[in-house]
Amino acid sequence: MDKHVTILGGGPAGLAVAYFAQKNRLPFSLFEASDRLGGSSITLRRGEFLFDSGAHRFHDRAPEITAELRQLLGEDLREIFVPSQIYSRGRFFDFPLSPLNLILKMGPKTFFKAGLDFLRAKAKARGPLEDFERFARSTYGNTIAERFLLNYSEKLWGADSRHLSPRIAGNRMKGLNLKTFLTEAFWGRRAKTGHLDGSFYYPRKRGIGLIFEKLGEFCENETIFKKSEISKIFHDQGRIQAVEINGKSSVRTDRVVSSLPLTVMLERLSPPPPADVLKSARTLQYRSLVLSALFLNRTSITSNATVYFPDREFLFTRIYEPRNRDSSLSPAGKTSLVAEIPCQFGDSVWAMEDDQLIDQSSALLMKIGWIQREDILGSCVYRIPYAYPILEAAHEEHLDRIRAFLGGFSNLWISGRNAKFQYSHIHDQLISGKEIVKAILTEEKYRVL
């Protein structure tokens, strides 16, 4: 099986490896535990309504990857221009935050206070910022951090912002820097900067899941095995030797790419990793999501791709309206709203009855005047375990220990958000898949994590 690749998991990361392996005529087998491909990036159908398993979008961050998807999807991949906003205290704010929009919505007095906080934070910024709270306050000032960032992050990740890594910020707030702050504050609309990110690519007619359906279709069907859970990963002498499928059959391996959640992958190794590695793995946690979808007898609710809710009174962290990405996702004259409710696997929110979740989320939307009860045609609840790795400030020490251990396997590559334990996007998974296949073909060592 020279240079045969065994891919563990059929989510975006695993499918990306399979796609580039197929393009390069590199033999592979992909094993996916569920009965469908796409992992947590799928499109669900309920009657005539379709909605994605999250507010997914594809950004044009790597031209060669965008070109791949254009070739794969053709006219079914199109660029759309739909902004996102933050809803706080009854008002909509641009997202990412814009200084000009802040002064218009917060009022001059609050904006002036926020501006002073912002400038003081810039003047005082010194040394490394080891947790998200200090990062947020130092980067954006107390007023903006407290109103828009700290509450939202603690709701999303389920942890005190003092315990979260600054890396959770990503580049979402890139527009709120000193230059844009001063430019927009003093010159207003005449000099409004173009940092707002309302442009992204999205498939026509079948939702984000179409991308991963097409990736799967491009690969030979006989090399993709669904309903095939990886129950054990056998290793010896620094190599992954075989994988066990569904607790029954064993398949020998040459090269292995794992996109399984990092903690799951480590716990299924046989023999088990050293005790200190397992201990580190068990400190890592993942956030789960419950989606509460409402199908509505309304033509439209908002003009946004996504609306973020930082205020603690809201159970959910963000809501998206699928038809704003593509009108075919709702029947003519109808629309839908999908609320994302973060939780921990097995907690009270995860275990809540579907009707109770729908009642709570719809009551909040009625309270702010978005919908009325008679608008609701139907509803659906969908649960997603392992939605995000929780990036805590202290987790790097544990990841270093795990990296050192996994780096000892000469035929193992790791890819994907949950496998690498880092927040990433669709284009990142595709880039990683391309790089891994290149590394295997050229016998180049690829960094495990």
Task: Give the tens place of pLDDT for each residue, 195-248.
Answer: 445 689 999 989 999 999 999 999 977 799 999 999 999 999 999 999 999 999
Answer whether residue 318 shows pLDDT above 90.
yes
For residue 346, the model assigns a pLDDT of 95
- Give the residue-averaged pLDDT of 287-297: 98
- Give the residue-averaged pLDDT of 357-364: 97
The model's pLDDT over 375-407, given as tens digits with 9 standing for 90+, comes to 999 999 999 999 999 999 888 899 999 999 999
| Structure letter (DSSP) for residue 163 | G
For residue 171, the model assigns a pLDDT of 57
The pLDDT confidence band at residue 45, using thresholds 50, 70 and 90, is very high
How many Cα atoms are found within 13 Å in the side-chain-facing hemisphere of 449?
22
How many Cα atoms are found within 13 Å in the side-chain-facing hemisphere of 160?
4
What value, to the nearest 5°, has the Cα angle with vertex 148 and ends 146 and 151?
Answer: 65
Q: Which of 172-176, 257-261, 410-414 has the lowest mean pLDDT?
A: 172-176
- Give the residue-averaged pLDDT of 163-179: 68
**Percent of the chain predicted with pLDDT > 90:** 77
For residue 193, the model assigns a pLDDT of 44
Q: Which of 133-142, 179-188, 259-268 has the lowest mean pLDDT?
A: 179-188
Please, are residues 405 and 281 in contact by the beta-carbon 8 Å criterion? no
For residue 221, the model assigns a pLDDT of 74
Please, are residues 244 and 250 in contact by the beta-carbon 8 Å criterion? yes
Q: Which helix (H) or strand (E) holds 413?
A: strand 412-414
Topology annotation, domain 95-197: protoporphyrinogen ix oxidase, domain 3 (1.10.3110)
Q: Is the dihedral of CA 397, 262, 29, 40 positive or negative?
A: negative
Q: What are the structural domain ranges in the chain?
A: 5-39+57-78+204-284+393-441, 95-197, 286-389
Other C-beta atoms closer than 10 Å to the C-beta of 238 total 11
For residue 143, the model assigns a pLDDT of 92
Average pLDDT along the chain: 91
Quote the CA–CA distance of 260 and 310 in Å, as a whole number: 31
What value, to the nearest 5°, has the Cα angle with vertex 186 and ends 185 and 192?
Answer: 65
**Percent of the chain predicted with pLDDT > 70:** 91
The model's pLDDT over 186-206, given as tens digits with 9 standing for 90+, comes to 554 444 444 445 689 999 989
Quote the CA–CA distance of 431 and 427 in Å, as a whole number: 6
Q: When comparing pLDDT for 167 and 340, which is higher?
A: 340
For residue 333, the model assigns a pLDDT of 97
Pick the CATH number of 286-389 from 3.30.390.10, 3.90.1300.10, 3.90.660.20, 3.30.465.10: 3.90.660.20
For residue 196, the model assigns a pLDDT of 47
- Give the residue-averaged pLDDT of 173-191: 52
Name the CATH architecture for the domain at 5-39+57-78+204-284+393-441: 3-Layer(bba) Sandwich (3.50)
pTM score of the predicted model: 0.92
Alpha helices in 107-144 (DSSP H): 108-124, 132-140, 142-144
Taking 3-state DSSP, the helix, strand and coil percentages for the chain, each rounded to the nearest 5, stand at 40, 25, 35
For residue 111, the model assigns a pLDDT of 82
The pLDDT confidence band at residue 168, using thresholds 50, 70 and 90, is confident
